[in-house]
Amino acid sequence: MAADDGASAPQSQTLDRGLRILEHLAAVGTPQPIADIGQAVGLHRSITYRLLRTLEDHQLVERDPAGHYRLGLGVVGLARGVRTDLQSAALPRLDALVAHLGMTAFLVVRAGDEAVTVSSVEPHDSPAHVVYRPGIRHPVGQGAPGLALLMPEAATPEDREALREARRLGWATSRGEVIPGLRSVAAPVLGPDGGTRAALAVVYVDDAADTTQIGQLVAAASREVSTAIR
């Protein structure tokens, strides 16, 4: 009898279901109750619950205080092992911003209604700097990185004044919107279609820093990344 090489073996139903849950949570971008997740992927509530608990054990999903599920930080950890064109293009520019400004620089992407940090570079020779790790997330539209992700979108009457100002300047600024006391400056990275691929940002605590100079440097770095991925 010939050995089974797996080529004709059926797919793993459990793995398929778990992956469909992760794909659903990535698509909706907001925390979901178990019933809604089960309905979206066509699974009974009890099966959905068992799959979510397994995914939670591996930090691929996490529960909020209401008991709703969203993607977990384990997904970001897995993504760090992938050398995407975006991250590869951004890293030299992040390094250059850190060297020039002595500030922590980071790359943010949009996941549904959230801005998620996927890469960061910290100064090595600074006596004190802000630690801003991959996996930090916050609502899009909050903080300079979130505003930068929205900048290329069409303006609406509901836009915040900070977003309108960011579009005028070419970069976004904020203070204390994500982490109390911290300032951030960010600019969008555009894809070949002119849409937002990501945002480059720096974070710092120095109130005397020249925001205009920082904004110009971050915007220039973001344009370089945009050119590199086209």
Pick the CATH number of 78-228 from 3.30.450.40, 3.30.465.10, 3.90.550.40, 3.40.50.300: 3.30.450.40
The two domains 13-71 and 78-228 share their CATH topology (first three levels equal): no
More confident residue, 75 or 71: 71
* Position 175 pLDDT exceeds 60: yes
Say how many Å lie between the first and final Cα of the chain, rounded.
Answer: 53
* Position 2 pLDDT exceeds 60: no
* Position 208 pLDDT exceeds 70: yes
Strands (E), the chain: 61-63, 69-71, 104-111, 114-121, 137-139, 172-175, 183-190, 196-204
Q: Where are the domains of the chain?
A: 13-71, 78-228
Q: What is the pTM of this model?
A: 0.66
CATH topology of domain 13-71: Arc Repressor Mutant, subunit A (1.10.10)
